[in-house]
Amino acid sequence: MKVFREIGITALIAIAIFAALKFAAPNYRVQYSSMLPNIEENDLLVVDKVSYFFSDPQRGDVIILWPPAEVKEKNPFIKRVIGLPGDTVEIKDDKVFVDGIPLEEEYIKDPPRYTMPAKTIPEGEYFVLGDNRNNSNDSHYWGTVSRENIIGKALFIYWPPSRWRVVKHYSYPELTKADRAANLQSDGGATWTTIFLSYSK
């Protein structure tokens, strides 16, 4: 009896661990080709659902999301976060601009052959695009996605075995440099104003 009890306890622990892992890191089958050349249709991915409980999605993250109801799609989408709340996003001249700065996007299949007027992203909303810019049902069609509709962050492709790899999430140093330059200019202006006022007194 003791042996059966120990086996039962071990089985329950294993089931609990499996259930916890399925909740924290479920799998996702890619339905479309909107993330080419990096993620292909029918790739199986592991998704991190936990990280976004503690932090917000970042620009460059590849995420799994539910599209807005008006899209009338029963399957989740996979896209890359481009615009954060408060950003202004515009698409023109074969480039995506965030706050007037063109993004350097080495990961896309082709430059976007369409335009989109400047849009400011509302609070709690995110602007997402597919890496296959000219063949993606994304924010340039239907607008932003709400924070509540973001399921999780793509971690790695585990099937097929030949496709095994970590999903790459990108940062955008050009935006960081621009922010730093703007801050330096602002700080410099404040410093000279202070010196001038001090001298005038």
Q: What is the pLDDT along the chain (201 residues), one digit of tens a residue?
A: 554 444 444 333 333 333 333 444 468 999 989 999 999 999 999 999 999 999 999 999 999 999 998 888 889 999 999 999 999 999 999 999 999 999 999 999 999 999 999 999 999 999 999 999 999 999 999 999 999 999 999 999 999 999 999 999 998 998 876 565 555 455 554 333 332 223 333
For residue 155, which of 18, 16, 32, 24 has the smallest C-alpha distance? 24
CATH annotation of 25-183: 2.10.109.10
Write down the domain spans for the chain: 25-183
Q: Which of 33, 74, 79, 119 is catalytic?
A: 79
Active-site residue flag, 79:
yes
Spatial distance between the Cα atoms of 111 and 96, rounded to a whole number of angstroms: 9
The reported pTM is 0.79
Q: Which of 2, 22, 33, 34 is catalytic?
A: 34
* Amino acid symbol at 23: F
Active-site residue flag, 34:
yes
